[in-house]
Each structure stands twice: as C-alpha cells, then as structure tokens.
C-alpha cells in the first residue's frame, strides 16, 4: 500500500515509541517495555518524583545513557526525507523524548512530551536547559535557586502524567491543522499505542479538519477505528517505501 503525496498535500505525522524500537530504545507498554519494571506512578508523575527523586533520576539517567548509544533508524530517516521534499507542508509531532528524530535531520519537529536531554527546575521558572548528565547518587540542585538562598530540585524536562503540555508546542499542531483547510491534509501516526492523551486524540482533531488518516504500527492500537488505512509492520521497514511522490 502506498501513501500518495502530491504538491497539494500537507502531511502531519505523529510518532510514538515504536518508531525508535528498531534503534534499540524500549517502548513503554510492549512486553519487557519500560513500564513492566518501573511502576508508572513512581517514575512518571510529579508525586512519584517528590516522593523519591533519586529513584526517578536513576530511571532517567539510565535512559539518557542508553539513548546516547543508539542511532536513528530507517524509519526516522524516511520521515526526515519526506520533510526535505515537502518543506513547510510537513510537520512532525513526536511523543518521544529520545532526540532521534532531530539526530536524523528532522527540523519541523514538535517534541510534545519534552526531551530526555533537557532539565528544568521544580523551584523556579527558569527555562529548561540542555543537560545530558547522569545522576545516580544525589539528585541535582538548581544553581540559580541556590544563588537566591533557596533550594530548588532539578528534574528531567519531560511531561509526566497529570501535567499540562506546553501550550506553545500544541499551538503549532493546531495551527498546522487550521492552515490545511482547502488543501489535502494527511495524518500519519507511527508506532504508538493510542492510549495516552492528548496525543491519542490528535487523529480525531485532524479528521475534523478533513484529514485522511493513516497508521503504521506493529500491532493494532487502541484507537485503530479512527484510521482509514492501517499498514501493519515495523516502521523501519514500512516507512521507507510507503510514500509515492507525484
């Protein structure tokens, strides 16, 4: 099955953990996925972090270490290639925090759940800053807070359950959809279980604007019925020959 792209097509892509699976990054909910050995409420909520920041930093430090040692795969490359052909008619929204899309060359990119390689402060409003440190002993403290005589615990700059997503990032997605009225809009989801909101609802948001909805996934996900076309298989194999350019 081929997804035809012509000069009037606008392509909105949403990726999840499955797109990085062939690079060796574990998914969350598959067998031996991350949530199997790490209770989600302990490592992916603010409450979990406040209860045991050392445990949470160990979890994210280990993921930083692993992510530094993997490489983008053919699926990431196929999406970067599509962007280089389509320019501003293309937007890639990823739930992944591993940085692999950027390393594959994607630029028109929204990292909706943040980045594994950025850190923010729980005590002050400073912007998230680049950080690839691994903190296995004491959780790191904010120097800016310290300079004002306060204690601010640093945290990974990712979006945990119950936290609100950055409105500026989500605005880019809504704007892309709004600007597609009158054109042919295609929504393509890749490697995501369709369980976590608001990402899982994006297909309906795009369809409300008339989008044709495609899905590439190893298994049928929770929100399968929302899609017009389902191509089952590993994204590193399915994506490179998927697009038909006209």
Where along the sequence are the contacts to ligand BJW (CB under 6 A)?
Answer: 16-18, 21-22, 27-30, 33, 44, 95, 97, 113, 158-165, 191-193, 195-198, 217-219, 221, 234-235
**Residue 10 vs residues 89, 90, 105, 190, 202: alpha-carbon distances, Å:** 5, 6, 19, 17, 15
The distance of closest approach from Cβ of residue 39 to ligand BJW in the complex, given in angstroms and rounded to an integer, is 12
The residue among 145 and 159 lying less far from ligand BJW, judged by its C-beta, is 159
The distance of closest approach from Cβ of residue 34 to ligand BJW in the complex, given in angstroms and rounded to an integer, is 7
The residue among 10 and 58 lying less far from ligand BJW, judged by its C-beta, is 58
Task: List all residues 6 or more positions away from 3 whose beta carbon is below 8 Å from its beta carbon.
Answer: 186, 188, 214, 229, 242, 243, 244
Please report which helix (H) or strand (E) contains residue 213, including its range.
strand 212-217
The residue among 48 and 123 lying less far from ligand BJW, judged by its C-beta, is 48
The distance of closest approach from Cβ of residue 218 to ligand BJW in the complex, given in angstroms and rounded to an integer, is 3
Closest CA to 240 of 2, 59, 16: 2
Bond before 198 cis per omega within 30 degrees: yes
| C-alpha to C-alpha distance for 110 and 87, rounded to whole angstroms | 15
The residue among 7 and 162 lying less far from ligand BJW, judged by its C-beta, is 162
**At residue 8, what are phi and psi to the nearest 5 degrees?**
-100, -5
38-70-135-51 Cα dihedral, nearest 10 degrees: -20
Task: Please pick, among 38, 76, 101, 113, the residue that the annotation labels catalytic.
Answer: 113
Query: Annotated catalytic, 113?
Result: yes
The distance of closest approach from Cβ of residue 156 to ligand BJW in the complex, given in angstroms and rounded to an integer, is 7
Residues carrying an active site annotation: 113
């Amino acid at each position: 099955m081929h997804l035809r792209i012509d000069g009037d097509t606008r392509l909105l892509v949403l990726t999840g953990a499955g797109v990085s699976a062939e690079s060796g990054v574990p998914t969350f909910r598959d067998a031996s996925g991350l949530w199997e050995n790490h209770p989600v409420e302990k490592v992916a909520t603010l409450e979990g972090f406040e209860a045991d920041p050392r445990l949470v930093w160990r979890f994210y430090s280990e993921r930083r270490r692993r992510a530094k040692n993997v490489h983008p795969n053919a699926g990431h490359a196929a999406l970067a290639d599509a962007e280089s052909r389509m320019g501003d008619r293309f937007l890639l929204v990823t739930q992944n925090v591993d940085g692999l899309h950027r390393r594959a060359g994607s630029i028109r990119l929204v990292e909706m759940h943040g980045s594994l390689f950025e850190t923010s402060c729980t005590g002050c409003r400073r912007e998230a800053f680049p950080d690839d440190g691994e903190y296995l002993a004491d959780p790191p403290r904010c120097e800016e807070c310290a300079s004002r005589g306060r204690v601010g615990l640093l945290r990974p700059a990712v979006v945990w359950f119950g936290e609100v997503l950055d409105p500026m990032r989500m605005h880019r997605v809504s704007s892309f959809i709004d600007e597609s009225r009158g054109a042919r809009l295609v929504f393509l989801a890749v490697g995501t279980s369709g369980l976590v909101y608001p990402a899982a609802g994006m297909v309906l948001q795009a369809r409300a604007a008339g989008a044709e909805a495609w899905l590439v996934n190893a298994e049928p996900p929770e929100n399968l019925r929302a899609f017009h076309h389902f191509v089952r298989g590993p994204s590193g194999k399915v994506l490179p020959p998927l697009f038909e350019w006209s």
